[in-house]
């Protein structure tokens, strides 16, 4: 289980509970609803909800919705669905940072009253110039010494909508010479007219910044451990500054961990949005996307995503995880849980010329080689079959163990057959094989010889035509866009291969969307939600073996 694998954050929490610092813990997962969740978010979800679960605490789902122009309700709903899909529950209600807009505003007036915040008339560019650099201290804003009365008056008029976008900001009065740039009088509020916020509509034209909103939201919810990624380490002094100076009920502790980076994909929502909006992928749930919706459509299970998160662990070390780690998590899961089935991706017709009249019309096949409890099924059998083109070679390479002219192979769960005749079309392409069965090989080995190869097949008469999509990595380089190039230059042109005219054993046509199978010898596949009875669609989740680096 996830809890069997501890990490430095779990250790801190355990110590805080043991010492009595906290009687119970409360964490939160705070996505901004400006895109769909991706596998990096899963790391944060599994951590935040996982520790709450394992230590008898609570985890809040809180939408960090302070940038209304990039956010919408579709994203809110997709995030809720994805968190639920991963297997977590968030208590009676969902939280929104916008729930606190009125209180955040009140705390800002508190800061002004204490002389700790001021209204600044510098525009964005000037503010940046005054801020200084890593090696150069900033300079005080000329508006820094406004009186409390002036500041209160201006701030109230900002709220009343008297000033246009960008005309004024509210800034914390901290230290323009601080070596930490985040403490150089950070902006707390900006003016944004004309946006309709998905929660608060047009009530506000003044929006608080993340650095101001986040610590106060945490404190108002009684968060004990505020877990975030390492790039916020430098923001921690500001986080602490804010909660220490407004009248909130508690002081949460921010702890940082390294974000997940995964090879051959991108995780920034800005870039994922670009892939969707430019039609480079088919949507947020395109199976090539690293989004949870994409992984789900790819056939991933919530268990596999959680197991992946457990395997990568939680540390402060920056790293780049190999795609093979994600794929082995789903492969291990499906190897154990997915029923087996037969599907021929590149059909080649086989006619059995001497099938005995008493040959069975169905063959009994085990649904899982290791789990008898998963039962058996009846697979239609007959004199006309299809096998995969790659299982026959007229001029076989050395060591080829499948069907060759004059050679023998076993049909999975059925007879040993021998290829007697190869039929070609006018262009010389093999279109059919005439084969004879050894009638004495159903469920037993042939007399006096060994037949090594076993191939899968589908009854040509009963099989169901289907479309199968084979996915490969979306990018052809481990770190797309690294080295300053456009990340789109690194797209893999062969990331999707669509096979039409595949032949499935008929039972697969009735499978529910989302049902996962091992297609024997081919890989793990999931029934796509766009399937119809007439046109089943399957997506390959992962190959049978790790093919990365080959």
User: Which amino acids are annotated as binding site for ATP, given as ranges?
Assistant: 32-34, 38-44, 229, 259-260, 267-269
DSSP labels, 442-481? TTSPPTTS----EE--EETTT-EEEEEEEE--SBSSSSTT
Angstrom distance (rounded) from CA 129 to CA 127: 5
> Does residue number 31 form part of the binding site for ligand ATP (CB under 6 A)?
yes
> Does residue number 67 form part of the binding site for ligand ATP (CB under 6 A)?
no
Angstrom distance (rounded) from CA 156 to CA 108: 11
Give the residue nearest to ligand ATP (CB). Answer: 40
Q: Give the residue ranges of the annotated binding site for L-glutamine.
A: 64, 210
Q: Give the residue ranges of the annotated binding site.
A: 32-34, 38-44, 64, 210, 229, 259-260, 267-269
Cβ atoms of 223 and 230 closer than 8 Å? no
Considering the candidates 146, 269, 288, 331, report the single residue annotated as catalytic: 269
Sign of the alpha-carbon dihedral angle for 12, 16, 17, 22: negative
For residue 519, what are the CA distances in angstroms to 100, 183, 504, 530, 536?
A: 52, 58, 9, 19, 14
Among 46, 51, 176, 260, binds ligand ATP (CB under 6 A): 260
Sign of the alpha-carbon dihedral angle for 532, 536, 537, 542: positive
**CB-side exposure of 231: number of CA atoms within 13 Å?**
3
Angstrom distance (rounded) from CA 282 to CA 186: 40
Window 474-493: residues binding ligand ATP (CB under 6 A): none
From the list ligand ATP, Mg ion, none, partner contacted by residue 229 (C-beta under 5 to 8 A by kind): ligand ATP
DSSP 181: G
Give the number of residues in contact with Mg ion, rule: CB under 5 A: 1
Give the residue nearest to Mg ion (CB). Answer: 32
**Which secondary-structure segment (H or E) carries 294?**
helix 292-298
> Does residue number 319 form part of the binding site for ligand ATP (CB under 6 A)?
no
From the list Mg ion, ligand ATP, none, partner contacted by residue 332 (C-beta under 5 to 8 A by kind): none
CB-based contacts of 128-137 (< 8 A; 24+ apart in sequence): 130/176, 131/176, 131/181, 131/184, 132/176, 132/181, 132/184, 133/181, 134/181, 137/176, 137/177
> Does residue number 229 form part of the binding site for ligand ATP (CB under 6 A)?
yes
Instruction: Please say which residue, 285 or 505, places its beta carbon nearer to ligand ATP.
Output: 285
Considering the candidates 139, 245, 259, 469, report the single residue annotated as catalytic: 259
**Which secondary-structure segment (H or E) carries 332?**
helix 323-337
Report which of 188, 189, 170, 253 is spatially closest to residue 218, judged by C-alpha positions: 253
Angstrom distance (rounded) from CA 29 to CA 347: 48
3-state secondary structure of 198: coil
Instruction: Please say which residue, 322 or 467, places its beta carbon nearer to ligand ATP.
Output: 322
Instruction: Please say which residue, 320 or 372, places its beta carbon nearer to ligand ATP.
Output: 320
Among 9, 228, 312, 314, binds ligand ATP (CB under 6 A): 228
Window 521-550: residues binding ligand ATP (CB under 6 A): none
Considering the candidates 32, 110, 393, 432, report the single residue annotated as catalytic: 32
Interacting stretch for Mg ion, rule CB under 5 A, among 25-33, 72-80, 352-360, 507-515?
Answer: 25-33
Instruction: Please say which residue, 119 or 329, places its beta carbon nearer to ligand ATP.
Output: 329
> Does residue number 259 form part of the binding site for ligand ATP (CB under 6 A)?
yes
> Could you tell me the smallest distance in angstroms from the CB atom of residue 278 to ligand ATP?
17
Interacting stretch for Mg ion, rule CB under 5 A, among 28-36, 51-59, 319-327, 499-507?
Answer: 28-36
Among 25, 36, 40, 509, binds ligand ATP (CB under 6 A): 40
Return the HEC string of 23-40. CCCEEEECCCCCCCCEHH
> Does residue number 267 form part of the binding site for ligand ATP (CB under 6 A)?
yes
259 is catalytic: yes
Instruction: Please say which residue, 218 or 285, places its beta carbon nearer to ligand ATP.
Output: 218
Report which of 448, 446, 418, 445 is spatially closest to residue 434, judged by C-alpha positions: 418
Q: What's the token pair of residue 166?
A: 């960008």
Instruction: Please say which residue, 193 or 270, places its beta carbon nearer to ligand ATP.
Output: 270
> Does residue number 290 form part of the binding site for ligand ATP (CB under 6 A)?
no
x-or-dash pattern for Mg ion, window 409-428, by CB under 5 A? --------------------
Q: Report the 10 Å Cβ neighbour count for 291.
A: 29
Q: What's the token pair of residue 153?
A: 């008056």
Q: What's the token pair of residue 44?
A: 């944060």
452 is catalytic: no
Instruction: Please say which residue, 138 or 252, places its beta carbon nearer to ligand ATP.
Output: 252
32 is catalytic: yes
> Could you tell me the smallest distance in angstroms from the CB atom of residue 44 to ligand ATP?
4
Give the number of residues in contact with ligand ATP, rule: CB under 6 A: 15
Interhelix angle 236-245/210-220, nearest 10 degrees: 60
Q: What does the binding site for ligand ATP look like in residue numbers (CB under 6 A)?
A: 30-32, 40-41, 43-44, 64, 228-229, 259-260, 267-269
Query: Which residues bind to Mg ion, rule: CB under 5 A?
Result: 32
- Residue numbers annotated as active site: 32, 259, 269
């Amino acid at each position: 289980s996830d809890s069997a694998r501890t990490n430095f954050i779990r250790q801190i929490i355990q110590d805080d509970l043991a010492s009595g610092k906290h009687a119970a813990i409360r964490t939160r997962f705070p996505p901004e609803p400006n895109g769909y969740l991706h596998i990096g978010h899963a790391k944060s979800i599994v951590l935040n909800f996982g520790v709450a679960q394992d230590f008898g605490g609570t985890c809040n789902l809180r939408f960090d919705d302070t940038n209304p122009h990039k956010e919408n309700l579709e994203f809110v709903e997709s995030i809720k669905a994805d968190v639920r899909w991963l297997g977590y529950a968030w208590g009676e209600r969902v939280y929104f940072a916008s729930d606190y807009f009125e209180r955040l505003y009140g705390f800002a007036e508190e800061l002004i009253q204490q002389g700790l915040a001021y209204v600044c008339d510098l525009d964005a560019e000037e503010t940046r110039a005054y801020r200084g650099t890593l090696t150069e201290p900033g300079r005080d804003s000329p508006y820094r010494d406004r009186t409390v009365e002036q500041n209160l008056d201006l701030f109230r008029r900002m709220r009343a909508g008297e000033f246009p976008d960008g005309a004024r900001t509210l800034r914390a009065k901290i230290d323009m010479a601080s070596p930490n740039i985040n403490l150089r009088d950070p902006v707390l509020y900006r003016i944004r007219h004309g946006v309709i916020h998905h929660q608060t509509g047009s009530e506000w034209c003044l929006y608080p910044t993340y650095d101001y909103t986040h610590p106060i939201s945490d404190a108002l919810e009684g968060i004990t451990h505020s877990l975030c990624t390492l790039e916020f380490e430098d923001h921690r002094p500001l986080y602490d500054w804010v909660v220490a100076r407004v009248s909130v009920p508690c002081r949460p502790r921010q702890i940082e961990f390294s974000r997940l980076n995964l090879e051959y994909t991108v995780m920034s929502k800005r870039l994922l949005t670009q892939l969707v909006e430019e039609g480079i992928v088919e949507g947020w749930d395109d199976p090539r996307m690293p989004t949870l919706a994409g992984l789900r459509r790819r056939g991933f299970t919530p268990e596999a995503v959680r197991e992946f998160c457990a395997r990568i662990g939680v540390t402060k070390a920056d790293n780049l995880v190999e795609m093979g780690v994600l794929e082995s998590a789903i492969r291990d899961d499906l190897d154990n849980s997915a029923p087996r089935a037969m599907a021929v991706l590149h059909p080649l017709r086989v006619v059995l010329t001497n099938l005995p009249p008493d040959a069975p019309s169905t063959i009994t096949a085990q649904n899982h080689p290791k789990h008898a409890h998963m039962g058996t099924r009846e697979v239609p059998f007959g004199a006309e079959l299809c096998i995969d083109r790659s299982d026959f070679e007229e001029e076989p390479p050395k060591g080829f163990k499948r069907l060759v002219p004059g050679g023998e192979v076993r049909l999975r769960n059925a007879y040993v057959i021998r290829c007697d005749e190869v039929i070609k079309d006018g262009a010389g392409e093999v279109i059919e094989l005439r084969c004879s069965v050894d009638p004495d090989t159903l469920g037993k080995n042939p007399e006096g010889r060994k037949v090594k190869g076993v191939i899968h097949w589908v009854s040509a008469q009963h099989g169901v035509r289907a479309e199968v999509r084979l996915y490969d990595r979306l990018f052809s380089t481990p770190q797309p866009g690294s080295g300053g190039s456009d990340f789109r230059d690194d797209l893999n042109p062969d990331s999707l291969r669509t096979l039409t005219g595949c032949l499935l054993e008929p039972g697969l046509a009735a499978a529910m969307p989302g049902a996962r199978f091992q297609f024997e010898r081919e890989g793990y596949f999931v029934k796509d939600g766009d399937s119809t009875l007439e046109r089943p669609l399957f997506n390959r989740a992962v190959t049978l073996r790790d093919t990365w680096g080959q």
